Structures are given as structure tokens and as C-alpha cells.
Amino acid sequence: MRAFLWGVLTMGCAVIALHFLRYWRTSGDRLFIFFGVAFAVMALNWVSLAIIDPSIEGRHYAFFFRLAAFLLIIVGIVDKNRRSGRL
């Protein structure tokens, strides 16, 4: 059951990433590319958690994907705010 739910979360993050990338193509706003890449990295997080055996001690390294995704979102928001102040 756990693997199925991780698969659902992976698919959901991948679909959201594709939507953000589509919005980026139509609008050209860089915030959408940051969000799209962040959700793609979140999909990698869920895939890595599904693949790695829970008994492996190094499993916590898979959460660096999640950290990277949140950092991408923060960088995107800061970038958006800095660019809007210049106009």
C-alpha cells in the first residue's frame, strides 16, 4: 500500500510540474519554471523513497531532494520579488 501511495504522489508531482512548465511557456514568467522544476524534484523524492528499502540507514539522504525543492521555491519567490522591484 505504501508503494502505491508513493506512486500516486510521484504522479501528482509530475503532473503539477508539467502544468507549471506549460504556464511558463505561455507566460514567460520565470517563477513558473522554478515551481515546475521544484515539483519535478519532489517527484524524484517520492521515487527515491519508494525504491530505497526502509531498513537502509542511508535512506535519510533521499530527503535532500525535498530540501532542494523547497530551496528552489524560495529562490523563485525571491527572484520574482527582486525582478518586480526593478520595473
Contact 25, 52 (CB under 8 A): no
Per-residue pLDDT of 18-37, as tens digits, reads 999 999 999 989 999 999 99
pLDDT value at residue 36: 97
CA separation for the pair 38, 47 (Å, rounded): 14
- Residue 85, phi then psi, degrees to nearest 5: -75, -25
User: CA distances (Å), 32 to each of 17, 26, 43, 59, 71, in order?
Assistant: 9, 10, 16, 30, 14
- Which pLDDT does position 87 carry in this prediction? 55
pTM assigned to the model:
0.87
Question: What is the mean predicted confidence (pLDDT) over 77-83?
Answer: 91
Backbone φ and ψ of 58, nearest 5°: -85, 15
